[in-house]
Chains A and B, each alone.
Chain A
Amino acid sequence: MASVYIPVQNSEEEVRVALDQLPRDASDILDILKAEQAPLDLWLIIAREYFKQGKIDQFRQILEEGSSPEIDDYYADVRYERIAILNALGAYYSYLGKIETKQREKEEHFILATQYYNKASRIDMHEPSTWVGKGQLLLAKGEVEQASAAFKIVLDGDRDNVPALLGQACVEFNRGRYSDSLELYKRVLQVYPNCPAAVRLGIGLCRYKLGQFEKAQQAFERVLQLDPENVEALVALAIMDLRTNEAGGIRKGMVKMQKAFEIYPYCAMALNYLANHFFFTGQHFLVEQLTETALAVTNHGPTKSHSYYNLARSYHSKGDYDKAGVYYMASVKEVNKPHEFVFPYYGLGQVQIKLGDYKSALSNFEKVLEVYPDNCETLKALGHIYVQLGQTDKGQDFLRRATKIDPRDAQAFLELGELLIVSDTGAALDAFKTARTLFKKGSQEVPIELLNNIGVLQFERGDFELAQQTFKEALGDGIWLSFINQEHKSSIDAATSTLQFKDTQLFHDLENNGHNVEVAWDKVTVLFNLARLLEQLNESGTASILYRLILFKYPDYIDAYLRLAAIAKARNNILLSIELVNDALKVNDKCPNALSMLGELELKNDDWVKAKETLRAASEATDGKDSYATLSLGNWNYFAAVRNEKRNPKLEATHLEKAKELYTRVLIQHSANLYAANGAGVVLAEKGHFDVSKDIFTQVQEAASGSVFVQMPDVWINLAHVYFAQGNFALAVKMYQNCLRKFYYNTDSQILLYLARTHYEAEQWQDCIKTLLRAIHLAPSNYTLRFDAGVAMQKFSASTLQKAKRTADEVRTTVAELQNAVRIFSQLSAASNLHIHGFDEKKIDTHVGYCNHLLSAARVHLEAAEREEQQVRQRQELARQVALAEEARRKAEEQRKYQMERRKQEDELKRVQQQEEHFRRVKEQWKSSSHSKRRERSDDEDGGTSEKKRRKGGKRRKKDKHSKSRDDQEETEADMMDEQEMEDEEADINYREEPQTRMNDDAVENAQGLLAAAGLEDSDAEDEMAAPSSTLGRRRQALSESEEDEPLHRQSSPVRENSAEMQLSDGEIRDGEKTNGDDASD
């Protein structure tokens, strides 16, 4: 056992002090030391021994005594030992300062240390150990440059001064010059091979920093060989083990960490790592303790940040987001640059998302993304935030990037899909499908929700078969299969046939028969969707069973009740439907959907007041936020405004106003609500703002196309109504027809009625009648349609008879139609005894009377027409003959002219003969030449006639054309005549909604019609009388002109002649034959 010998003063004896048996009270030793005036190096040895034994107070007591002024006086010449004592104290206080966490004490320690070193320096300026000490102190204070200067002073004097070398190495390490630092450590090792383990620790750390992990490990291991309790080396090795990221490595690492903790429980690094470990094992209590300790013992920013991070994570995982947020924030504050330690930003971002602070979360995640630009999780988080902030496009971008970076991340595709559902269902479906494929590839189970979403999207796109497959895949095996595949045929038949939509006997029976009637909770939605799909596929029977299965297991599933009610409603079983809705209301009497539906059913049952109350309740149940209820109320008001009975203009206006207000309210809440827009459009149209309403309807129509869930035939009809109101009948007809075909399979008699009405207004009588007949065929019990058909026939007949010109066939059809009308009206009249369908027998009789009147008039017309037809035929025959005669006459004329000319020539010839008798010699020659000339002439004449004939043909064609256009003209004239009537008729058109008023209007119309018919007949007659005479006159005039002109210009200017003929044809009015006839009479 080591011991020191204190020489006893003035003797040869020595006091032996066993170093391991130093007295507890240092004063004993001090007394001896002072009494014997022991050399100062002994003081130091003993103090150091105390220090080694951890008896710090004794250590300090001895050294403080050893540096007291008395000693200075007494040992004034013993310089080195005094310096050593001072330096030891300086080093001691440096150390205290270094480990002290409280700033004030820290400063005080450093001040003390500085004082001791300065004192040592005063003894000897050049003592290297003092400089080393000073350097260490400066290092501890973080003043790296000054420390380096201090070490340099020493090394300049002695380049192998080990402590200075170590100090300098430390400086270089702190400066980040790891290779320089490594060189210095190596030199220390060369100079002093038996140096303490710490030197090798430095080497290890340098190598670690330089990335030479194996050598670093070797170094650390060597440290541990030399000093098995070296905490730093243990921690370093542990970290390296942990870095391997393998189970074995991590375990080894943790064992080392634990050992380090046991050796020295205040190493922050070890504490952090341990906390980290316990975080993952879920021992949050330990995490908190460890990190709190770590925070208490360190001042080192990054380490603290790490500790806060651990703490925050712990709270985060426990769900204490507020605390977690605070600690993440603290952790972030300790980090200078996100690049150094980015995790707390991520955590902070997550917590902020949870707390709803998306903007802050956004900036934090963006910082993470700067460090890891390709981190999928961060991209997804950012995507999520942007969606929450309403910037869907950006959100999609981020998620797309995430899926691009890791195209095998099923979760990312799933999220992307969920995001896209709102905006782009097609893309959403693709994303979901990719996710499904990825799940399948990874042989993971595809989440039911995912399949459900795919199914719904396919459903929405109208891919019903695919959707069905998907839903079935999601459902897997279960009792429902037997319903879908209709295995238990007999029992199902019984179930459907009882029509008891609430019947669950079927399931009880199945259970009793040992079938497992179970529906897992996560499959209910899928089952419901499948049932909904089956409904769409018109398999309402199977759908009803599935809904009932859901209700059998989950009696609170309101939607299933409502769907059952909807099926019943579709079958027009209103009472059952109401019952089912009431069942739903039993589950939740505030359910707005159920209330809304009940309201609608009550409306269907003609229970207006009740319906309004129910709808109000629905609206109140959602604080007026449920658009459907508000809309329904709006509709209620609209219908109330335009309802059949007892029109009150004041009430009508208030109802319309109210309706508008309600629609607007919905639109304010949901600017994209198609139905509200449609309603608003209707109200506007009702007020006559057709242009605005047309715009609205067109937009709604565009928006409504594309999803199977949005079926808005109403808007088509409304648009057609607007076209109709604006007089654009052709478009209205097209719109009605398209609507009828597209949405109603041509089964809606009401739209047919609209169509008929449009035809009526457009005066397309036959189309109107045919359309009404179709409507009657579809809705045989609607007697109003028959009445309308009768009116249309009557109108058709009247208008035909009013025509200035019609063929006998037309009149014949008219008579037939009038007979039909009479029959229809008399049938109605007969039926009105039996039925209550809103017809007054008298009114019908008026119609019958009018029709009969028309009929008798028509008979006269018919006779006249037939007579005229006959005449026309005769005239035609006559004209043909006249044409032939004229031709003959013309030929004769030509012949005559020719003859005359010939005679003239002959006369002239004679004269010439007479005058120049003395040219007898050449007489023969003359004769022959004139002959040839004559022949030429005659040829010319012939050509002229044929040309004329051709021209005549052309003329006739032109006339035909013209007569056609004249027909049109006549029609328009007839229209003009009708116009006053039309105004009356307009009221007539309203009759669809209003049988009562209609009757009155009709009566008025009838009266007027009778008058008009009478009056018109006269005008007709006049027309007929006047027209031919005047035209004849004009014709004659024109003809005489032309006859005068013709010979004059015939040969000279054929062009003029043509123009003359144009005039001629303009003048012409009827058939050419007639003209010729007149001509002939001339």
Chain B
Amino acid sequence: MKLGGIKSVENAHDDSVWAVTWVPATAIRPPLLLTGSLDETVRLWRSDDLILERTNTGHCLGVASVAAHPLGSIAASSSLDSFVRVFDVDSNTTLATLEAPPSEVWQMRFDPKGAILAVAGGGSASVKLWDTSTWELIATLSIPRQEGPKPTDKSGSKKFVLSVAWSPDGKRLACGSMDGTISVFDVPRAKFLHHLEGHFMPVRSLVYSPYDPRLLFTASDDGNVHMYDAEGKALVGTMSGHASWVLCVDVSPDGAAIATGSSDRSVRLWDLSMRASVQTMSNHTDQVWGVAFRPPGGNDVRSGRLASVSDDKSVSLYDYS
């Protein structure tokens, strides 16, 4: 289990790169890498040479999140002004512009079947679900107010939702918030299930294991990656090693490893069987805001790829084997 650097594009964007995701392969083209940056652009890259395919403009303020439909034809990008732009990957035609004021937009994720786009709603303490055929808001999953001792407390009572993750079967949705709690929802019934506790600092990224619908990995500003049994409400493991905030986490398609990116400028690969960091990549010179394993599919299924993006304006691609 290791990572090998393939290519790194310096100045891939004109400013910090904040978001990355893979657009799955379609019948006519291989998978593409989608990145979003503070420079207000979204860029598409063809691997493995990371050739710039296209630059999408139109966002104001920085692009904070990008998401790709599992079929690979549609993608969404969102910026700090809380607009979501849904566009056709190949033609760059805008399919929809979504906003749900006063809810903000942070992380976005398409569900595994591609029917719903989940959007972390920031200060609205909710996750918005959009129908991907009509682009209408179908549900708002709100985190119930906790019975706090001090209801007037500025931060304590509200859950500021930063991140979302779908379970592989699409039935569960987990979201991470500023105060470190993770909320789990039953999507078909649009119902809040429970909180997962253990973090006390923002959870900026979380991801379900592709094989175990119960297993959830969370990355937090406290520098740790937690492993939860999301159904049993139990913390099953803690992985420490990063020197600063863990900003992003992604799980490998084979489910054997996770990759994390951190403010400490490193990308770490963790062996889940050993529950230990097996490799640290330190090619970035600033915070690593996104890591993404390439989903299986396309022509070269065998070779795993991991991409990372950073405040240093670069995009890096690694071979995962």
Contacts and interface: CB of A to CB of B under 8 A. Distances in A.
A572 to B, nearest CB: 4
The residue in A542, A571, A776, A836 that gathers the most chain B C-beta atoms within 10 A of its C-beta is A571
A493 B162 contact: no
Given A572-B200, A572-B201, A773-B80, A541 B238 contact: yes
Contacts of B276: 486
Given A538-B241, A777-B18, A497 B104 contact: no
Contacts of B101: 827, 830
A827 B154 CA distance: 19
B234 A497 contact: yes
Contact of A497 (B152, B222, B237): B237
A824 B60 CA distance: 11
A496 interface: yes
Interface size range of chain B in the complex: 35 or more
Given A541-B240, A571-B200, A745-B265, A774 B158 contact: no
A745 B162 contact: no
Interface of A (DSSP majority class)? helix
A774 B236 CA distance: 34
B102 A827 contact: yes
A783 interface: yes
A538 B180 contact: no
Nearest to A542: B240
B41 interface: no
Interface string A808-819: 000000001001
A742 to B, nearest CB: 12
Interface in B36-70: 38, 60-62, 64
A823 B79 CA distance: 12
Nearest to A486: B276
B102 A831 contact: yes
Interface string B68-90: 00000000000011100000000
A781 interface: yes
Nearest to B62: A773
Contact of A493 (B82, B104, B221, B275): B275
Nearest to B200: A572
Nearest to B201: A572
B124 A834 contact: yes
B319 interface: no
A896 B266 CA distance: 79
A781 B159 CA distance: 9
A997 interface: no
Given A538-B223, A835-B123, A777 B238 contact: no
B243 A745 contact: yes
A570 B242 CA distance: 13
| Interface SS majority for chain B | loop
B264 to A, nearest CB: 5
Given A571-B201, A776-B80, A827-B101, A834 B61 contact: no
B272 to A, nearest CB: 12
B140 interface: no
Contacts of B80: 773, 776-777
A499 B241 contact: no
A540 B123 contact: no
B106 A780 contact: yes
A780 B203 CA distance: 12
A496 B238 contact: yes
A873 interface: no
A499 B180 contact: no
Given A777-B64, A834-B102, A836-B154, A539 B18 contact: no
Contacts of B104: 780, 827, 831
Interface string B238-252: 111111110000000
Interface of A: 486, 489, 493, 496-499, 537-542, 570-574, 744-747, 770, 773-774, 776-777, 780-781, 783, 816, 819-820, 823-824, 827, 830-831, 833-837
Given A770-B15, A780-B162, A834-B124, 12 more contacts: A493-B237, A538-B223, A539-B240, A540-B224, A570-B223, A571-B201, A745-B263, A746-B286, A746-B287, A774-B16, A819-B60, A824-B81
Top 4 nearest A-B pairs (CB, nearest first) are: A572-B200, A830-B102, A745-B263, A781-B160
23 contacts: A493-B238, A497-B234, A498-B235, A538-B242, A540-B224, A541-B240, A542-B240, A571-B201, A572-B180, A572-B200, A745-B244, A747-B244, A770-B15, A773-B38, A774-B62, A777-B38, A777-B80, A780-B106, A780-B178, A827-B101, A827-B104, A830-B102, A835-B123
